Amino acid sequence: MHNEPDIRVAPVEASHRPALLRLRVHEPQRDFVGDIASLLADADSCPSSEPMTILHGDTPIGFYRIETQARCITGGDFARPTLGLRSFFIDRQWQGRGLGAPVLAALLGDLALRHPQARDLVLTVNVRNTVGIALYRRAGFVDTGELYHGGRSGPQHLLVRALSV
């Protein structure tokens, strides 16, 4: 019998914050993500941003943000109702356990429930982040062929995934 990891996502709550503030990525990944204290502060200051906790059981193991105005991600508009994904990461102690795909599945399921009007999810991923690019492609994201040059760490691929048929 195959045991699926107990993964779920939830909006950041006050009770999550102490554990979230202890999350870290490996040093080379910091260029792609940043530090969690800054990510939380930035999300708190942006009314169109929804900070989210990635949970394994009741343990916070990661973080991401949903942007209800996808323009925040790329500076451009989209033809269909589109959400943005940013700051996605799993804590370094939980990496390498095959949790990326189940986390993205939980994230997409949550979006279907909380944002049924959305048709697409867009993100940018640094051209040097080969592990992230592979994960997103396996989850059904398609490279648009466009590069976003507004990031602090160099050019980024613009990826999009349909949320509904």
pLDDT at 34: 77
What confidence tens digit (pLDDT) does each residue in 9-64 have?
999 999 999 999 998 887 767 767 778 899 899 999 999 999 999 999 999 999 99
Assess whether pLDDT exceeds 80 at residue 88: yes
**Single pTM value for the model:** 0.89
Q: Looking at residues 74-89, what average pLDDT do you find? A: 90
Per-domain boundaries in the chain: 7-117
Assess whether pLDDT exceeds 50 at residue 69: yes
Output the DSSP codes for 51-102.
Answer: EEEEEETTEEEEEEEEESSTHHHHSS--SS-EEEEEEEEE-TTTTTSS-HHH
pLDDT at 151: 63
User: Which residues are CB-neighbours of 45 under 8 A, at least 6 positions away?
Assistant: none
Model confidence at 150, in pLDDT bands (50, 70, 90)?
Answer: low
What residues form DSSP beta bridges with 161? 121
Question: Thinking of the domain 7-117, which architecture would CATH place it in?
Answer: 3-Layer(aba) Sandwich (3.40)
3-state secondary structure 99-131: CHHHHHHHHHHHHHHHCCCCCEEEEEEECCCHH
Nearest 5 degrees, angle CA 102-CA 64-CA 122? Answer: 85
